[in-house]
Amino acid sequence: MTKTNSKDAVSEAKERVLLGLNPRQVEAATHVEGPLLILAGAGSGKTTVLTRRVAYIIASGWEPWSILAITFTNKAANELKTRIAALLGEQGEGVWAMTFHSFCARVLRAEFPGIGRSGRFSIADDSDQLKVMKACLKELNLSEKQYPPRGILHAISNAKDELMGPDEYAARASTFYETKVAQAYSLYKRKLLEMDALDFDDLLMETVLLFRGNPRILQKYQERFQHILVDEYQDTNRAQYELTKLLAASHRRIAVVGDDDQSIYTFRGADIRNILDFERDYPECKVVKLEQNYRSTQVILDGAFNVVKHNLERKDKRLWTSKKGGLPITVYAGQSAEDEARFVVSEIERLVGEGLPLSSCAILYRTHAQSRSFEEAFINAGVPYTVLAGFRFYERKHIRDAVSYLRLLAYPKDRLSLERVANEPPRGLGPAAIEKIVRYAQEQDVGLVDAMCSAESIKGLTRPQKKGALELGTALMEMRRAASSLPLGQLLHDTLEKTGYLEALRNEGTSESQSRLEDLSELMGSLRQYDEMENPLYSFLENCSLASDQDSYDEKKESCVMGTLHSAKGLEFEAVFLVGLEEGLLPHSRALLDERQLEEERRLMYVGMTRAKLRLYLTFAFARNGYLGPTRTRVSRFISEIPRELLEVRTWED
């Protein structure tokens, strides 16, 4: 430690860091030695505590870079970074605040080369996974009807969450179906390896395996990170749990923050045992409960509590606030989805008229599909809105095409990107031709771009195919050479120009293609931020794989926010509209049969309600258009769990 501060200066710094915290929060921020479990209710100042804790650790003389703060979303990580910077200035620089997945990717890229594996793997997203799995099923002669690819992927994902490899899975398979899954798992893994790709679950699992199998590497990270902080601990799965356990094993300075009532990711393997086992794994751990809420009115908290208390599997606790009373919770019964949307939008306009900023209003729903009627109502009313992770920017076809072109420059074996891009624009390179190129590349042990450059010597390609492949290959080769000397935006532009992608889009001449071109220039412009980084191309691609759209959500923008209940976690608004509160939507129809899933739906409701600071609206429609005709609906059971005296009921007839 290089600090030469006197004792007084240190304690003064510590005091300043704790300014304005309540006694429980102080406990959580200052318990620096030894494990700590913080049970932080909604709106209890969790991020504040995390930030102050980091500051306190630094004020105690630790170096910033000895702190690792792990979150679930990039948004949460960025928020943490911003708040640390605001509190500490450059003193806080060097703290690692990132998601589980980016941490793992970073470790693997750094350590894989040392153990003879590629550190330049690409990261496979959902649609990549689906494609690979379909190819696997085809190869195994399994029909997609009997073996739905998504279902198989889900099973594999579960296995990986539990750190189970294909062999172990096969050994445990008891049903016929499971033996088939095991075969698919094994082949799927081989295929990913072949194209040097890892999926999201692999990132976690491979990191745990790396640490387990290489004690010296693990030791390096243990020594580097003397303090581990984990946010949203209730949402960790077994692999994530194991990872943090390994990292903290030598020094046991690990602090986790969680709230069992806000556990809404069990479908992704989140395991509530991780909170319970924490006290077992670290018997000396200190437990701090944060129950004072700084966000909502008492009425909103009472409403939310009365819903969530119906769950049997929960730790007993109850939030309280010094803000007594509050406006009643408004329940609106609409006659149709359109009527519901009309009400919500006109109510928002009324609130804005009273001086509430538009950006502090939010509409939350259970499924993405529900956004439609609200978007229409907003457009009709001329009110600006932002959809959280709706149709993700990065999931739009042309954006993915563009990214795939860049991926081909960076990842020589990225077969999926080639498949995306080879015939976009049409070059006569269909699946069969691609197969030949890939095989050639494998046989010659060269990258796909190099293979295309020697298209002349690939057997079985027709003349025009050779020409197409050669053109594409040389264009990409040229861009790859130029990659390090061009700004990233320019690189993308030139790549799309040379490969004829932009030209094809321009020639289309529809309004659709026009807006696509605009999207692409937006993308090119946004790439500027990467130019200062060490390796712009790789940094961008990494971000692209690991980032979602809500990460870039800008709360200052003057527009109403809407999104799924899941995407709303960690956010807060003056006015919240929980919409579509009907049996089958919330709780979702897929959850009705299973008590545990039903409890998760209830927690979703709880998370939604506790986003509201001042006003809470619960709305539903008596009839809703399904994909075939209008259907009558039933009001969500969760509404009836709220005491009548907290509610003010309105209908379309009022």
Number of residues counted as binding DNA (CB under 7 A): 47
**Residue selected from 159, 429, 492, 541 as contacting DNA according to rule CB under 7 A:** 429
**Residue selected from 239, 361, 476, 591 as contacting DNA according to rule CB under 7 A:** 591
Q: Is 190 in the site for DNA (CB under 7 A)?
A: no
Q: Is 589 exposed, middle or buried (0-12, 13-18, 19+ CB in 10 A)?
A: exposed
For residue 114, CA distances in Å to 107, 117, 214, 445, 447 come to: 11, 7, 11, 21, 21
Q: What is the nearest approach in angstroms of DNA to the Cβ of residue 157? A: 8
Q: Is 344 exposed, middle or buried (0-12, 13-18, 19+ CB in 10 A)?
A: buried
**Residue selected from 14, 220, 588, 650 as contacting DNA according to rule CB under 7 A:** 588
- The answer to whether residue 14 is catalytic is no
Query: Rg (Cα) of the chain, in Å, rounded?
Result: 27
**Residue selected from 100, 225, 343, 620 as contacting DNA according to rule CB under 7 A:** 100
Q: Is 566 in the site for DNA (CB under 7 A)?
A: yes
Q: Is 73 in the site for DNA (CB under 7 A)?
A: yes
User: Is the CB of 200 or the CB of 577 nearer to DNA?
Assistant: 200
DSSP per position, 42-64: TTS-HHHHHHHHHHHHHHTT--G
Q: Is 240 in the site for DNA (CB under 7 A)?
A: no
Q: Is 595 in the site for DNA (CB under 7 A)?
A: no
Q: What is the 3-state secondary structure (H, E, C) of 520-553?
A: HHHHHHHHHHHCCCCCHHHHHHHHHHHCCHHHHC
Catalytic residue among 232, 542, 549, 599: 232
Q: What is the nearest approach in angstroms of DNA to the Cβ of residue 375? A: 12
CB atoms < 10 A from the CB of 180, how many? 18
Q: What is the nearest approach in angstroms of DNA to the Cβ of residue 420? A: 11
Piece in contact with DNA (CB under 7 A), picked from 109-117, 190-198, 559-567, 609-617: 559-567
Residues 262-281: x where in contact with DNA by CB under 7 A, - otherwise, as a string: --xx-xx-------------
Q: Which two tokens stand for residue 361?
A: 């209003």
- d(CA 567, CA 571) in angstroms, rounded, equals 9
Catalytic residue among 25, 51, 71, 262: 262
Piece in contact with DNA (CB under 7 A), picked from 23-31, 109-117, 165-173, 587-595: 587-595
Q: Which two tokens stand for residue 636?
A: 């969500």
- The answer to whether residue 231 is catalytic is yes
User: Is the CB of 566 or the CB of 613 nearer to DNA?
Assistant: 566
- The answer to whether residue 46 is catalytic is yes
Catalytic residue among 189, 427, 611, 637: 611
User: Is the CB of 119 or the CB of 626 nearer to DNA?
Assistant: 626
User: Is the CB of 31 or the CB of 624 nearer to DNA?
Assistant: 624
Catalytic residue among 79, 125, 201, 231: 231
- d(CA 514, CA 492) in angstroms, rounded, equals 18
Q: Is the peptide bond before 643 cis (omega within 30 degrees of 0)?
A: no
Q: What is the nearest approach in angstroms of DNA to the Cβ of residue 392? A: 8
- The answer to whether residue 292 is catalytic is no
Q: Is 176 in the site for DNA (CB under 7 A)?
A: no
Question: Does residue 630 contact residue 623 with C-beta atoms inside 8 Å?
Answer: yes
CB within 8 Å of 17: residues ≥ 6 apart = 29, 52, 55, 56, 59, 87
Sign for the CA dihedral angle at 415, 418, 420, 423 comes to: negative
Q: Is 384 in the site for DNA (CB under 7 A)?
A: no
Q: What is the nearest approach in angstroms of DNA to the Cβ of residue 391? A: 8
Contacts for 268-271: CB closer than 8 Å, 24+ residues apart: 268/157, 268/161, 268/235, 268/237, 269/157, 269/158, 269/161, 269/162, 269/237, 269/238, 269/239, 270/234, 270/235, 270/236, 270/237, 271/236, 271/237, 271/238, 271/241
- d(CA 260, CA 429) in angstroms, rounded, equals 52
Q: Which residue do the tokens 């095991």 mark?
A: 182
Relative to beta strand 67-71, strand 227-230 is parallel
**Residue selected from 15, 94, 146, 150 as contacting DNA according to rule CB under 7 A:** 150
Q: Is 564 in the site for DNA (CB under 7 A)?
A: yes
Q: Is 369 in the site for DNA (CB under 7 A)?
A: yes
User: Is the CB of 302 or the CB of 572 nearer to DNA?
Assistant: 572
Q: Which two tokens stand for residue 221?
A: 């990270």
- Which residues ranging from 621 to 650 are in contact with DNA (CB under 7 A)? 626-628
**Residue selected from 550, 619, 633, 636 as contacting DNA according to rule CB under 7 A:** 550
Q: Is 72 in the site for DNA (CB under 7 A)?
A: yes
**Residue selected from 367, 552, 631, 651 as contacting DNA according to rule CB under 7 A:** 367
Question: Does residue 201 contact residue 242 with C-beta atoms inside 8 Å?
Answer: no
Q: What is the nearest approach in angstroms of DNA to the Cβ of residue 208? A: 15
The contact set with DNA (CB under 7 A) reads: 72-74, 99-102, 125-127, 134, 144, 150, 200, 264-265, 267-268, 366-369, 389, 423, 426-433, 465, 546, 548, 550, 563-564, 566-567, 588, 590-591, 597, 626-628
